[in-house]
Amino acid sequence: MSHSTSKKYRNVPNKLPPQIQALFAPGPPLEQLPALDERRRKRSKHSDLSGIADLVEKFEQEEVQYDAEGQKIRTTKYEMPESRRKRKERIKRENAEKAEKELRKALQSWDPNNDPKATLEPFNTLFIAKMNYETTEETLRNAFSKFGPIKTVRVVRDINTGKSRGYAFIEFENHEDMRDAYNRGDGMEIDQWRVMVDVERGRTVKDWKPRRLGGGLGNSREPLPPVVEEKPEERYHEPGFRRGGRGGFRGGRGGGGSGGFRRGYDRGGDDRRDRGYKRNYDDR
């Protein structure tokens, strides 16, 4: 703001009404307090704080209770509150112990040889797993009847709800038909689900346990990962015997030049080998 402008508004409060001018009146002067050093000098040297000796017994490991006459009546063990980490460890340990107890109980009650709902001939029985929960016995019979005549079909269901548990047993009349279904039926699509087949192992394999009881084969029917073959050794070292990529014996676009016998004897190269393509010379 320029000097002329400040001079213009300098006498503005004098032109305001008295009730407005009272708002701009200066306040009372600040209270003069003594210096900090003087207050510290006058402070009492005796503190009102006391020790914690009277509270020590409240933090002891044992809590002692007394009667009206001062006699000890009961002593209880003081327990520290459980931390969050220890609580999680305790719950995890309790759940593991509970699961182990239930597993031992289920193993004692599991006896496939005394199952009244089992098929008659275990060596003619095919096990079906990973199937749709809506698949019925009639659907399985129609899907596997092409392998041979079927005697019985059983879809295992929950005892309480009656819903399918996702696996079933099919008993064929002949053992050969069961083996054919075992070899050809794995991966069949039934109700838009690809099923897995296996022989019944509960009554045919000694000490066999299902997967829910700690046994089973898991994903053993899945194909193994492909074996990486080593790069074949170079069989052609002389110039002119290396074939071009698309040239062949007449030349073209292969190798360094046009490839083949007509042009580029020592410039033609198998660029497919350089790019990582596999060639099996034993199949030629």
Q: What is the CATH number of the domain that holds 145?
A: 3.30.70.330
- What's the total number of domains in the chain? 2
Contacts (Cβ under 8 Å, ≥6 apart) of 248: 254, 259, 260
Q: How far is CA 78 from the centre of its chain?
A: 41
Question: Is residue 89 in a domain?
Answer: no
Residues 202 and 123 in one domain: yes
Position 253 scores a pLDDT of 46
Question: Is residue 192 in a domain?
Answer: yes
Q: Per-residue confidence of the chain (284 residues) as pLDDT tens digits?
A: 555 555 555 665 577 888 988 888 888 998 887 776 666 666 656 566 777 777 776 665 555 666 677 776 666 666 678 899 999 999 999 999 998 898 888 888 777 777 777 888 889 999 999 999 999 999 999 999 999 999 999 999 998 898 999 999 999 999 999 999 999 999 999 999 999 998 888 788 777 777 777 766 655 555 656 766 655 555 445 454 444 444 444 444 444 444 444 444 444 444 444 444 444 444 44
Alpha carbons 136 and 154: distance in angstroms, whole number = 9
Question: Is residue 96 in a domain?
Answer: no
Phi-psi region of 148 (alpha: psi -120 to 50; beta: other; left: phi over 0): left
Entry pTM: 0.46
Contacts (Cβ under 8 Å, ≥6 apart) of 24: 13
What are the structure tokens assigned to 29, written together?
Answer: 């002067």
Position 219 scores a pLDDT of 57
The upper half-sphere exposure of residue 71, i.e. CA atoms within 13 Å in the direction of its Cβ, equals 2
Domain that holds residue 264: 229-273
Position 57 scores a pLDDT of 67
Diameter of the chain by CA atoms?
122
Residues 196 and 127 in one domain: yes
